[in-house]
Structure 1
Amino acid sequence: MARKFSNEAKLGLLAIVTLTVLIWGYRFLKGKNLLDNSNTYYITYSDVGGLNTSAPVFINGFQVGSVTAVKLKPDDVEKINVTIEVDGEIELPKTTTAVLASSSIMGGKSILLEYGNADMQNGILENKSYIDGTTQGLLGSMVDVNEVDVYFDKLKNGFSGLIDTITQSSPNAEESIMQSIEEFQTTIKNLSGISNKINIMLAKSASNFDETLSNVASLSETLKNSNAKIAGIIDNLDVVTTDLKNAEISKTVGAAEGAITEVKTSLTTIQGTVKSAEEAIANINQLISKVENGDGSLSALINDKALYNNLESTSQNLDLLLQDFRLNPKRYVNVSVFGKKDKEYVVPEDDPAEKIKDSKN
């Protein structure tokens, strides 16, 4: 039992130490030190210029504390409450002023507590008291006001001595200085005239500039109203590219090559057919040439006029025979049952054979 209790005590002590270290480390990162006795003071500013927690608090360049909180004032959002903690051994008079200043050109902020020895007679600030706050510009943070006055005094005295030296060394120095001043004034007038001309040019160009701005605004409005169409075009391009990506182009090319091969085969067959047709036409031309030249039976049949006349005469005689058979059948077929005598054939008045004879005569 004693061993078990000892382990639990060790675990509890370790947990307490760990928690204490975590709390101390967290507050240390925020600018607080649990091991030091410190006093808390409150300051109100209208603009903190980017002041952060953990910013240093100085007295005559010596750090005596840090900023622990920066929050908006609950009842007035135009004011900001700043909480600082100062070493408890340092006593601040009631007339202390907290000056918010820039600690570097990079923009870091710090608080300067300003007071004098005479202020200590006005009473000491108690813990959690309010301090009056003021703000100092970047130039004021970098250079003291008294130092600026000294610099200007030295510059003025040096410039006056320089003018006196120039005047004493050259008898015409004063005249040269006055001439330089007049030339400088002339230069100022010329610059003024140039600025006036620039103003006139800008005034004349104002309408064109306004029109340009109007056109730009119209273009932007058109683009804004065409967002849906542009999006549709982009979607269509996406669909087309996707289809091209997914399309089996290799198979399509293979099929096209197969079709081209079949077309080539068909063209070869057609060429053979055309060649055969050309040979047949050549044979027909040869046959026609023989007929025209009188070679062969067909040529004799076509070119022999006597044969043509005989055929025509035979056709006419056959036609007459058929007509006569139709008009006088008894002349060719005579059947007598009782032994009657045949009638003598009489040539009809409109005998076709006579008409043919008359037409030939």
Structure 2
Amino acid sequence: MTDTSGEKRGMQAFETVLSKQDTRVAEFEVHARSPLQMLQHFLHANPTAVPAIVLVLGVAVFSAIVGPRFYSAFNLSLILQQVTIICIIGVAQTLIVLTAGIDLSVGAVMVLCSVIMGKLAVALGLPVPVAFAAGLATGAACGAFNGLLVVRLKLPPFIVTLGTWSIFFSLNLWYSGAQTIRAQDVAKAAPFLQWLGTPVDLLGARLTYGTFFMLGLVAIVWYVLNRTALGRHIYAVGDDPDAARLAGIRTDKVLFSVYVAAGVICALGAWALIGRIGSISPQAGQTANLDSITAVVIGGASLFGGRGSIIGTLIGALIVGVSRSGLALSGVDVLWQEFAVGSLIIVAVTLDQWIRKVSA
């Protein structure tokens, strides 16, 4: 038997159904944020804010504890010299991390390039420009090798670079014969390779050309990342590769280019390394891999990709330098200096996880 109660009241069947639906309308009111939420959003929008605050606090604390010895022009310039290599390799590491990868081979690439430059120029007597170009080409080749494995074979960057770290380090020991080229021999045959170690006195501070080279490199890469289409593509690939691909970005080409660029920067780091220590040693830069990751993470870059900056990496390297210098001048044992740096890494990653919840 058909129910005609709705029709008797002058209503159609579909009107009877619609009358039972929720009549509430959508609300678009913006609710007030708590102070903690406001801080979280501010830090998400300004990834370099935290490392900058930490750096200022570190300088203030160690200045109060150690006294004039810490904030003297000599000590501050010494910190800049000590972080030069870390920052240059950290720039290469930052490019990889922005694409949601990680490169454990940057230190091995740097040392291999330095050995090739030295062997060709000093041991074989080739013209310095040829040796230098060969070092840059080696860095590019190492980066291209990493890039091909990641892009073509779709292997995880961590596993790829863990393997190539061993490969490049073994090639380094084989080609060098595990022998160091003395600083005197380098100065005689190829003084250009030591040029970045040339000291410069500035307002009571003793800097080197390597420090200015580091700052120039940071400025160039900052411009590329913030003012060019390639920089925007790098961030897009790291944030969401599928969305970047749908937007027309050639993600594989961008990834490959990043790895090649990182290899070339590592070769430039090899030049700075020779200038820093004078000699060419196959055992140099043993901690460069972890130091570069430390600078990048403490500098506010996200290991999940798409977030971070070169300025943050520079600040992160300075934080490491300030911490080690301040603790050393305070009489703290080297063991506890490394303990402090490790604690900073854990705090930085934890803070990054909390900040990322804003976009979740």
Assess same fold via TM > 0.5. Answer: no
In the superposition, the TM-score normalised over structure 1's length comes to: 0.16
Choose 1 or 2 for highest CA Rg.
1
More helix by share: 2
More strand by share: 1
